[in-house]
Chains A and B, each alone.
Chain A
Amino acid sequence: MKKLGNLVLVAALALSMLTGCGSSDATTLKVYNAGEYIDKSLLSKFEKEFNCKVVYETFDSNESMYTKIMSGEQYDILVPSDYMIERLIKENYLAEIDWSKITNADNLMDQVMEQAAYDPEHTYTVPYFWGSVGIIYDTTVVDEADTAAGWDLLKNTKYAGNIYMYDSERDSLMIALKALGYSMNTTDTAEIDAAYNWLVEQRDTMDPVYVGDDVIDNMISGNKAMAVVYSGDAAYMMTENENLEYLIPSQGTNIWYDCMVITKNCTQTEMAHNFINFMLDEENALANTEEVGYLSPVQSAYEEMCVSTYEGVSAYTIPDTNNPLNEVFGYQDTETKKYFADVWTKVKAY
């Protein structure tokens, strides 16, 4: 009986090791991307073209992605946002991109390549999508004249009980800081406190609902008058509900970039570069941006979309990167980050 017990133990251990290490197949590429952020048919197309297997997993926020990779999970390619990339570069988690292997690099827009405070030389990053943060509103409810108020539209009591805010400390405090005329990259606690008061005042007078991705379905079915959203989601919503319009507030907003990066522990460097190059192919980039609704960094795909699927959709336009009020929201030091988080908990859980 003792032998049997040991056998069970060995079998259990062997099983767990098998599932733990993954297969020994030489051409498996592990990709970790945000949810609903790719045209899935591209994955099978890539597998066929390069005779390999893609293990594709998704995350719901940059923070949860970071938590997962820090707990030891390994991927070859990640698609994080600018501020998270800054953090990963600082923490030495990324491998350099060999741009000689990215033959489709010429397809990329100059604008996206020039303005990249998170990685100025693009040593580690290849742009994937980009865009802005703004307000989507129902034109049948919201008076056009009120939109001139920019972010303060979110405090117009005419629409009390009729708005969605985004449940994220970064995005909400960004809005409050911009509305007050401060930079979103401030570390001055007096300015952050002022932003906190702005949000508390908004909470008390407007009774907003703080939501996540459920805002997409809610706005399409016209449940409330306005919502804070990312431009790509806005573009998608606008194609589903023609009463919606997108506003980039005059006080300035957050211009963000999501990029493909290769991790330090990637073993399939060659295949990873193939994948990145594949995504920048004009035809593939077109399919991807059409499916997802976010702005493609590939010039031809962007131009094609502007005259076809997203014609007249104001959320699908290049944001004004020359306006000094529009900023890239950089990585925050631990103290500011904690301060943001505490302030946000206080706004929500009063």
Chain B
Amino acid sequence: MRQFKNLVKPYILWSFLLIIVPLLLIVLYSVTTGGNSLVNIRFTLENFKKIGEPIYIQVFVRSFRLGLITTIICLLLGYVLAYVIASFSERAQAILILFVTIPMWINTLLRTYAWISILSDNGIINSFLTLIGLDPITMMYTDFSVILGLVCDLLPFMVIPIHTSLSKMDKSLIEAAYDLGAHRWQAFWRVTFALSIPGVINGVTMVFLLSISTFVIPKLLGGGQYVLIGNLIENQFVSIGDWNFGSAISLLLAILMLLMINITKKLDKQEGGGDL
């Protein structure tokens, strides 16, 4: 085994160059001013102070709210879907899981554009509504369109981990629960659900983290007035050119995410009760 350690070396170099160095640069940018060139930098905490302005706090609050709503909807839909899939035979399960992942083969941007032509004021749904004599409804550029886009995009990230933990489960445990006098609901809640908690926590973490840092979907389905953390960061880097402030927001977001991962891991240990 010892000799194989050498094979890891290129990867260490790789991750140093592509992960550690950029991260350190973000940290450096976030505590300095002086623009992009790093020629005449000055250390400061101004960038972090700026995040404290009400307008930016609002952006954070809005992003977290949206992330929470998306996660809850994904959890409800995803759990049911994963549960139904897990009840099929193994071969059928493989095919059904494939169906869940197929949309991910298509570029997110393309799928989002498809939603635009479905939801827009003169889109497919509204054309149909006017055809049958109903008033058209505005769906684009609202909370509805953004959440719909996010849920569709992120649902596989919820279904797959939950399905994995459900299909790994020993079915005889449920039978044992029935034998010991549990109702269907009790058996589900105290055996099936309890055993799938690691999958649920994985799914929730992934969906939540992806939804609070997204920027393409809100931009296209929510319009420019839908400013979330991701859009704010993108703006700082791409159009405004204030890399220092952008880095400070990114760093804060990264720290918040790390904290959340830590908390969910602790929850996992407490409630999941370890491996069974």
Contact = CB atoms under 8 A, between A and B. Distances in A.
B120 A218 contact: yes
A125 to B, nearest CB: 22
B220 interface: yes
B62 to A, nearest CB: 8
B224 interface: yes
Interface stretch (A4-12, A26-34, A260-268): A4-12
B268 interface: no
B178 interface: no
A224 B225 contact: no
Contact of B239 (A1, A61, A161): A61
Contacts of A197: none
B115 interface: no
Contacts of B219: 212
Contacts of A47: none
A4 B120 CA distance: 57
B273 interface: no
Contacts of A224: 121
Q: Which of B14, B59, B235 has the most CB of A within 10 A?
A: B235
Interface stretch (A62-70, A283-291, A311-319): A62-70
Nearest to A12: B10
Contact of A349 (B10, B55, B120, B223): B55
Interface in A302-338: 337-338
A204 to B, nearest CB: 12
A341 interface: yes
A282 interface: no
B7 A1 contact: yes
Interface residues on B, range: 35 or more
Contacts of A1: 3-4, 6-7
A167 interface: yes
A50 B71 CA distance: 56
A2 interface: yes
B42 to A, nearest CB: 14
B224 A8 contact: no
B238 A2 contact: no
A37 to B, nearest CB: 18
Given A167-B224, A214-B116, A5 B238 contact: no
B240 A4 contact: no
Contacts of B14: 12
A227 to B, nearest CB: 12
Interface in A186-228: 203, 208-212, 214, 218, 221-224
Given A214-B220, A221-B122, A341-B242, 14 more contacts: A1-B3, A2-B3, A61-B238, A63-B238, A63-B239, A63-B241, A209-B225, A218-B120, A221-B120, A346-B55, A349-B59, A349-B225, A349-B227, A350-B55
Closest 9 CB pairs of A and B: A210-B224, A167-B224, A5-B6, A349-B227, A1-B3, A341-B240, A209-B223, A223-B121, A63-B239
